[in-house]
Amino acid sequence: MEFKEGLTFDDVLLVPKYSDITSRSQTDLSTKLSRNITINIPFVSANMDTVTESSMAVAMARVGGIGIIHRFLTIQEQANEVLKVKRSGSVMIENPYSISSDKSIQDALDYAEDKEISGLLVVDSNSKLVGIVTERDLLFAGSNGTVADVMTKDVVTAKPGVSLDEAKDILHKHRIEKLPIVDGSGVINGLITSKDITNNTDYPNASKDKKGRPLVGAAVGVKGDFLERSESLLNAGTDVLVVDIAHGHSENAISTVKNIKKAFPDCELIAGNIATAQGAEDLIKAGVDAVKVGVGSGSICITRVITGSGVPQLTAVMDCAKIGNDHGIPIISDGGTRTSGDATKALAAGASSVMVGSMLGGTDESPGTVLTKNGKRFKVYRGMASLAASIGRKSKETGSISLDDDLNDYVAEGVEAMVPYKGTVNDILKQLAGGVRSGLSYCGAHTIPQMQENAEFIKMSRAGFAESQPHDVSLM
Least confident segment among 131-135, 360-364, 468-472: 468-472
Question: What confidence tier does 272 reach under pLDDT thresholds 50, 70, 90?
Answer: confident
Provide, rounded to the nearest whole percent, the portion of the chain with pLDDT above 70. Answer: 93
Locate CATH 3.10.580.10 in the chain: 98-197
Query: What average pLDDT does the segment 273-283 reach?
Result: 97
Q: What is the pLDDT of residues 61-74, one digit of tens each?
A: 999 999 999 999 99
Residue 183 has pLDDT above 60, yes or no: yes
Instruction: State how far the alpha carbon of 353 is from the alpha carbons of 81, 282, 338, 425, 449, in Å.
Output: 23, 20, 15, 18, 11
Among 349, 425, 417, 310, residue whose Cα is nearest residue 45: 425
* Separation CA 151–CA 119 (nearest Å): 10
Least confident segment among 157-161, 290-294, 468-472: 468-472
- The pLDDT of residue 407 is 43
- The pLDDT of residue 144 is 80
Annotated binding site for NAD(+): 244-246, 294-296
Locate CATH 3.20.20.70 in the chain: 9-88+214-468
Among 431, 321, 415, residue whose Cα is nearest residue 48: 415
User: Mean pLDDT in the chain?
Assistant: 89
SS (H, E, C) 240-268: EEEEECCCCCCHHHHHHHHHHHHHCCCCE
Rounding to the nearest 10 degrees, give the CA dihedral for residues 164, 234, 327, 12: 80
Query: What average pLDDT does the segment 104-111 reach?
Result: 88
Residue 96: Cβ-neighbour burial (10 angstroms; 0-12, 13-18, 19+): buried
- The pLDDT of residue 132 is 93
Question: What confidence tier does 418 reach under pLDDT thresholds 50, 70, 90?
Answer: confident
- The pLDDT of residue 271 is 98
Quickly list DSSP for 185-218. Answer: TSBEEEEEEHHHHHHHHH-TT--B-TTSPBP-EE
Query: What average pLDDT does the segment 32-51 reach?
Result: 97
- The pLDDT of residue 411 is 54
Q: For 396-408, b where at least 16 C-beta lie within 10 A, e where not — what string?
A: eeeeeeeeeeeee
Among 207, 213, 205, 238, residue whose Cα is nearest residue 78: 238
Annotated binding site for IMP: 299, 334-336, 357-358, 381-385, 413
Question: What confidence tier does 301 reach under pLDDT thresholds 50, 70, 90?
Answer: confident
Q: What is the pLDDT of residues 302-336, one digit of tens each?
A: 788 888 899 999 999 999 999 999 999 999 999 99
* Separation CA 5–CA 398 (nearest Å): 44
For 9-88+214-468, CATH number out of 3.40.50.1100, 3.20.20.70, 3.40.640.10, 1.10.10.10 equals 3.20.20.70
Residue 385 has pLDDT above 60, yes or no: no
Examine residue 273 and say whether the peptide bond preceding it is cis (omega within 30 degrees of 0). Answer: yes
Least confident segment among 37-41, 70-74, 346-350, 394-398: 394-398
Q: What is the pLDDT of residues 121-158, one digit of tens each?
A: 999 888 889 999 988 888 777 778 898 888 988 899 99
Query: What average pLDDT does the segment 348-356 reach?
Result: 98
Structure pTM? 0.86
Question: What confidence tier does 402 reach under pLDDT thresholds 50, 70, 90?
Answer: low
Question: What confidence tier does 400 reach under pLDDT thresholds 50, 70, 90?
Answer: low
Annotated binding site: 244-246, 294-296, 298-299, 301, 334-336, 357-358, 381-385, 413, 467-468
Residue 403 has pLDDT above 50, yes or no: no
- The pLDDT of residue 202 is 87
Q: Which residues are catalytic?
A: 301
Query: What is the CATH code of the structural domain delimited by 98-197?
Result: 3.10.580.10
Q: Please tell me which residue, 439 or 394, carries the higher pLDDT value.
A: 439
Instruction: Compute the 3-state secondary structure of the chain and give helix, strand, coil in percent, each to the nearest 5.
Output: 35, 20, 40
Residue 431 has pLDDT above 60, yes or no: yes
Q: What is the pLDDT of residues 435-452, one digit of tens each?
A: 999 999 999 999 999 999
Question: What confidence tier does 387 reach under pLDDT thresholds 50, 70, 90?
Answer: very low
